[in-house]
Every structure is written in structure tokens, then in C-alpha cells.
């Protein structure tokens, strides 16, 4: 199961350190990476990253930086110093913002260094639809915007993108197989859709070419989170073995 476990990212979407500790105590050995989002990080700060690391896990700092290039670059260096496995920015921040971040990280921690985090760009949120994009003035369809933003991220030197599993093939067409794709919006058959719009199963996400899967509520809301994680890992492992 090691291959599947390393590719499973658990969304630690709770609002306090006690709940984070409770889940973190039950899931080491079942999950490789723990995603730490805005709510938990805003309340608990770097302490929650250290909590994950102390229990042998790796952190995905999911703060989706989107600001002027220098601000994002400096924030990225702080994420590097925290020792997280990966962190992300919004691709809509543009080429210069992403390129400056890459240059800042390269200077401190060059490619090939095992301590270098994976730099990801968010293309389009999985809660978005073409209607919600039109409301903010983006008239191009998702099937056009996602690969366009992915290519921009790759050209800027980013390591990969966060995108719906439904767009993985489009990203592979323009970015190739060596560009990482992290997919949220993944729901096993036993779980509800919640507020995600563009979703698929873990097995189908891997078959489409996804490198990492982000799964939260199907694990955290289960009566036995470790068992739910193991069920997902089995589905992933079966797909990887095909």
C-alpha cells in the first residue's frame, strides 16, 4: 500500500488544534500527506504543521497565495522554512508572480534538494462552474482555462497544478507527463458529493493520470476514519496495479 499511501493527501479541514490532533493520532500509517487549509492555519498557525511532522506526516500548506510577486515569494520562503512537503498559489496571479516565487525558492533550496517543497498552482477551484466564472468576467470555458493556466504555471517553473480530475487529460496534453497534478474533488463511491461540482472516484482519478488525490470528508466524517482511509487506499492500489 505504500505507493497509494504516498499519493493520498488527507484534508485536515477542522477548526481547532484538538480536533486536528485527534485525527492526526488516528491516521499516521494510513495517509502520507496532511493538507492544512486557511481556517486551521489562521487559528493555529505553524503549530499545526509541527503537529503533523511530529507524528511522522508531511504537510501540504493549502493557503493559495495570490498577491503581488514579492509578497508571494516571501511567503513561499516561509513555507519552505516550515518544512512542508508542498504548498500552492493561484495561477491567476500570473506568470511574474509564479516565476518570482520559483526564483526565490531556487536560490535558497535548489532543485534536487530533498528539502525543497513541491510548488503547485491552483487552476480553477473544483467548486467553480462556468456560470460562477462568468460572474467574475471569465468567459472562456473551464476546458480552455484550466490547460491555459497549467501551461502558464509550467512555463513559470512551477512543479505542478491543483485541478479537478476531470481536467487531468487536458493538462497532460499541454504539460506532459512530468508535470504533477494534484486533484481535489475526489469522492469514493461510499461518500456524498458535498459542495464539490467536478468530482470523480479515486480509481478513475488515478487512471486519468493524477499524481496525488486530496480527500477530506469521506475520511474525517466516517465512523472509523482509519478504516475509511484504508478502503480508499485499497481502491487506489487496485487502480495502480492495473
Instruction: Write out the catalytic residue numbers.
Output: 64
**DSSP string spanning 167-233?**
GHHHHHHHH-TTSEEEE--B--TTS--TT-SS-B-HHHHHHTT-SEEEE-HHHHTSSSHHHHHHHHH
* C-alpha closest to that of 234 among 203, 212, 207: 203
Cell (9 digits) for 21: 490532533
The Cα–Cα gap between 51 and 46 comes to: 9
The Cα–Cα gap between 58 and 5 comes to: 12
Q: 87 with 62: CB under 8 angstroms? A: yes
The Cα–Cα gap between 194 and 225 comes to: 17
Q: 183 with 210: CB under 8 angstroms? A: yes
The Cα–Cα gap between 85 and 118 comes to: 6
Q: What share of the chain is helix, strand, coil (3-state, %, to 5)?
A: 50, 15, 35
Amino acid at each position: 500500500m505504500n505507493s497509494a499511501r504516498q499519493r493520498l493527501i488527507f484534508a485536515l479541514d477542522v477548526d481547532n488544534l484538538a480536533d486536528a490532533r485527534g485525527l492526526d493520532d488516528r491516521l499516521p500509517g494510513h495517509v502520507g500527506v496532511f493538507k492544512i487549509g486557511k481556517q486551521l492555519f489562521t487559528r493555529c498557525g505553524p503549530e499545526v504543521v509541527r503537529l503533523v511532522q511530529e507524528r511522522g506526516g508531511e504537510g501540504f500548506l493549502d493557503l493559495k497565495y495570490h498577491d503581488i510577486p514579492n509578497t508571494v515569494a516571501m511567503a513561499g520562503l516561509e513555507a519552505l522554512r516550515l518544512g512542508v512537503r508542498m504548498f500552492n498559489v493561484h495561477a491567476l496571479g500570473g506568470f511574474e508572480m509564479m516565476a518570482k516565487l520559483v526564483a526565490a525558492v531556487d536560490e535558497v533550496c535548489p532543485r534536487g534538494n530533498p528539502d525543497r517543497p513541491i510548488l503547485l498552482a491552483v487552476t480553477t477551484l473544483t467548486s467553480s462552474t462556468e456560470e460562477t466564472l462568468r460572474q467574475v468576467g471569465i468567459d472562456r470555458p473551464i476546458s480552455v482555462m484550466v490547460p491555459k493556466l497549467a501551461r502558464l504555471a509550467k512555463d513559470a517553473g512551477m512543479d505542478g497544478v491543483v485541478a479537478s480530475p476531470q481536467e487531468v487529460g487536458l493538462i497532460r496534453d499541454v504539460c506532459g507527463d512530468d508535470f504533477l497534478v494534484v486533484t481535489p474533488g475526489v469522492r469514493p463511491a461510499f461518500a456524498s458529493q458535498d459542495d464539490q461540482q467536478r468530482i470523480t472516484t479515486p480509481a478513475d482519478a488515478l487512471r486519468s493520470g493524477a499524481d496525488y488525490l486530496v480527500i477530506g470528508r469521506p475520511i474525517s466524517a466516517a465512523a472509523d476514519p482509519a478504516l475509511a482511509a484504508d478502503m480508499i487506499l485499497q481502491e487506489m492500489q487496485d487502480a495502480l496495479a492495473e
